[in-house]
């Protein structure tokens, strides 16, 4: 008698593929349907879109997990009774156990557990490892492909990635759904089995380039990828070997001069430039193996810094400004631009070798207009989701007011040049003033450089003026002398003496823009 009945095999084969599929693609629904057969319930919403409930709350998933639980127990019993199974049947058994354990222990983790909080992770591990041993310590069963701690770390990562993408990247249109699926693929590739076996700690070698118009979530995507990187689990301390939410730093390259970019990225030693009173480590140095440095507006990077960045991507080495000692970068680079980088390369403004190095993985964020053209209701659903963030329990009423305002005042083909950022602004404006004033010639791209740096770009500033403006700009952001001094590697008194009060007032007034 075969180890698996035809009916069990019919359930297990799609389930094994389901355990490793991209949850943001329609393939997931097809596999659920194939596994459940007649029991599959057609759901009102397209389940892979953002308008659907979280997958643990879906009736089809509840049916699948119930059957997976029952079957894993039954099959374990058969193995313990000495029934022989083919290698293919054993592989299906292993995938079934992974699916069942994920839904029993990982998918139910609290947000603290998903974020890597020690006690929540430790208690999930306790239950998980017990069950894991129960299903795998069966006489005659070959050792599974992964150790329990590695599998646990991978499943926690899957959960972190799912939550990060599902919660942050909004939109119920096909382009938004495709974006979520692409972000998932950037994290795990298209082959999650290979990822679990060999790629999990090599993904930092692949840089990601995010392109798309301003305000479409490029930084959001970068953050979701960074916080979903693999973090190993240590069974001795029963904790993760790193904090998943503490490895993301973002640098806006259009707002800084080449020297300041170098200082921020690579760090500097004492005296490397005027005002560098002490030494300071840069973002590359402080980035953990599971972290990422986000380089926004990469298309505006000065050619001299492009060369140094290429070296980082090729050899993973760099030097602090003013030093010759080589240091190593262990994280991932994620870059973004709303420029056409290929055109920049053809025009000779962007290095070809750097371009190809950055393009190993590309993601394109869709404009809001693209989303609305695909599905007109996408606008209303985005307004609702944004209203939930802004007004909490009063979201429904606010969303209705905003939609009414949009219908009364904007043409149906309004282009939303500022994309989702602009829609957020519109929701907030209607909340506060009951109206929104779109700019007639809304600038979709940022100016080349902010006003406070324009003189530097033209080569008109003295080093002291540049330092004054930079100190003021960083102070305007941090609002604290101590932290500004630390960030800039200067002493507190120097920072205080450099603050330009007029510029500070100007920057503060423009902060809400
Ligand atoms: N798909 C999205 N889902 C949810 N929020 C979004 C989305 N796209 C953009 N936003 C929101 O819009 C604002 C701008 O997003 P973000 O900074 O990531 O855009 P960007 O493409 O990096 O813009 P820029 O090119 O101007 O730097 C943020 O408040 C973000 O939360």
Please state the rounded mean pLDDT for residues 216-235. 95
Phi, psi of 172 (to 5 degrees): -105, 25
pLDDT surpassing 70 at residue 52: no
Specify the residue for token string 């994290």. Answer: 187
Q: What is the pLDDT of residues 120-140, one digit of tens each?
A: 899 999 999 999 999 998 887
* Atom of ligand 1 at shortest range from CA of 221: 18
Q: How far is residue 92 CA from its own chain's centroid?
A: 31
pLDDT surpassing 70 at residue 440: no
Please state the rounded mean pLDDT for residues 270-293. 84
Reported confidence tier of residue 53, pLDDT bands at 50, 70, 90: low
Which range is least confidently modeled, 32-36, 51-55, 155-159, 307-311? 51-55
Protein residue closest via CA to atom 9 of ligand 1: 217
* Atom of ligand 1 at shortest range from CA of 219: 18
Residues in contact with ligand 1 by the CB-under-6-Å rule are: 169-171, 212, 214-220, 296, 336, 338, 365, 420-421, 424
Could you tell me the distance, in angstroms and rounded to a whole number, from the CA of residue 215 to the centre of ligand 1? 4
Say if CB 60 and CB 43 are below 8 A apart. yes
Please state the rounded mean pLDDT for residues 170-175. 87
Specify the residue for token string 């397209």. Answer: 46
Q: How high is the pLDDT of residue 442?
A: 44
pLDDT surpassing 50 at residue 170: yes
Q: How high is the pLDDT of residue 117?
A: 86
Protein residue closest via CA to atom 18 of ligand 1: 217
**Which runs of E-coded beta strand occur in 401-496?**
none
Q: Which are the contacts of 346, defined by CB distance < 8 A and separation ≥ 6?
A: none
Pocket probe mutation, ligand 1, options 216, 372, 381, 382, max atoms within 8 Å of Cβ? 216
- Closest by CA to 142, choosing from 91, 96, 102, 83, is 91
Q: Which are the contacts of 284, defined by CB distance < 8 A and separation ≥ 6?
A: 265, 266, 267, 293, 312, 318, 327, 329, 331
**Homologous superfamily (CATH) for 221-364:** P-loop containing nucleotide triphosphate hydrolases (3.40.50.300)
Please state the rounded mean pLDDT for residues 65-85. 93
Q: Which of the pair, 283 or 457, is modelled with greater confidence? A: 283
* Atom of ligand 1 at shortest range from CA of 220: 18
Could you tell me the distance, in angstroms and rounded to a whole number, from the CA of residue 384 to the centre of ligand 1? 16
Protein residue closest via CA to atom 27 of ligand 1: 214
- Closest by CA to 98, choosing from 53, 52, 55, 144, is 144
Pocket probe mutation, ligand 1, options 219, 250, 374, max atoms within 8 Å of Cβ? 219
Cβ-count burial of 493 within 10 angstroms (0-12 exposed, 13-18 middle, 19+ buried)?
exposed
In angstroms, rounded to a whole number, what is the distance separating the alpha carbons of residues 88 and 425?
55
* Atom of ligand 1 at shortest range from CA of 169: 3
């Amino acid at each position: 008698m075969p180890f698996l009945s035809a009916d069990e095999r019919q359930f297990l084969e799609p389930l094994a593929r389901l355990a490793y599929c991209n949850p943001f693609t329609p393939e997931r629904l097809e596999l659920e349907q194939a596994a459940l057969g007649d029991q599959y319930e057609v759901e009102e919403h397209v389940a892979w879109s953002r308008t659907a409930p979280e997958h643990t709350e879906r009736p089809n998933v509840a049916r699948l997990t119930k059957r997976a639980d029952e079957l894993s127990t039954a099959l374990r019993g058969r193995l313990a009774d000495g029934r022989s199974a083919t290698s293919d049947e054993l592989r299906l058994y292993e995938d079934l156990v992974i699916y069942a354990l994920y839904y029993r222990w990982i998918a139910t983790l609290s947000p603290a557990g998903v974020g890597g909080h020690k006690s929540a992770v430790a208690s999930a591990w306790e239950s998980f490892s017990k069950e894991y041993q129960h299903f795998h310590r069966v006489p005659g069963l070959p050792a599974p492909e992964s150790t329990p701690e590695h599998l646990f770390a991978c499943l926690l990562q899957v959960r972190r990635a799912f939550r990060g993408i599902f919660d942050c990247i909004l939109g119920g249109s096909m382009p938004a759904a495709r974006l979520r699926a692409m972000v998932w693929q950037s994290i795990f590739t298209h082959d999650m089995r290979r990822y679990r076996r060999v790629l999990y700690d090599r993904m930092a070698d692949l840089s990601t380039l995010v392109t798309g118009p301003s305000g479409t979530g490029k930084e959001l995507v970068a953050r979701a990828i960074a916080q979903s990187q693999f973090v190993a689990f240590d069974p001795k301390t029963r904790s993760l070997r790193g904090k998943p939410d503490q490895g993301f730093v973002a640098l806006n390259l259009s707002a800084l001069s080449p020297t300041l970019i170098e200082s921020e990225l690579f760090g500097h030693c004492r005296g490397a430039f005027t005002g560098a009173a002490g030494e300071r480590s840069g973002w590359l140095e402080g980035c953990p193996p599971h972290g990422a440095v986000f380089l926004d507006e990469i298309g505006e990077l000065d050619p001299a810094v492009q060369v140094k960045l290429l070296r980082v991507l090729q050899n993973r080495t760099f030097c602090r400004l003013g030093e010759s000692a080589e240091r190593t970068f262990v994280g991932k680079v994620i870059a973004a631009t709303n420029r056409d980088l290929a055109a920049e390369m053809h025009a000779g403004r962007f290095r070809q070798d750097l371009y190809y190095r950055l393009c190993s993985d590309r993601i394109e964020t869709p404009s809001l207009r693209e989303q609305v053209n695909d599905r007109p209701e996408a606008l209303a659903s985005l307004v609702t989701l944004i209203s939930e963030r802004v007004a909490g329990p009063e979201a429904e009423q606010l969303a209705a007011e905003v939609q009414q305002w949009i219908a009364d005042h904007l043409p149906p083909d309004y282009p939303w040049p500022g994309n989702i950022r602009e829609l957020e602004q519109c929701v907030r404006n209607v909340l506060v003033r009951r109206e929104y004033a779109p700019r007639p010639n809304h600038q979709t791209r940022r100016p080349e450089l902010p006003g406070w740096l324009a003189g530097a770009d033209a080569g008109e500033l003295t080093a002291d003026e540049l330092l004054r403006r930079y100190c003021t700009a960083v102070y305007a952001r941090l609002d604290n002398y101590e932290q500004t001094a630390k960030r800039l590697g200067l002493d507190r008194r120097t920072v205080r003496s450099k603050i330009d009060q007029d510029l500070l007032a100007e920057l503060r007034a423009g902060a809400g823009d």
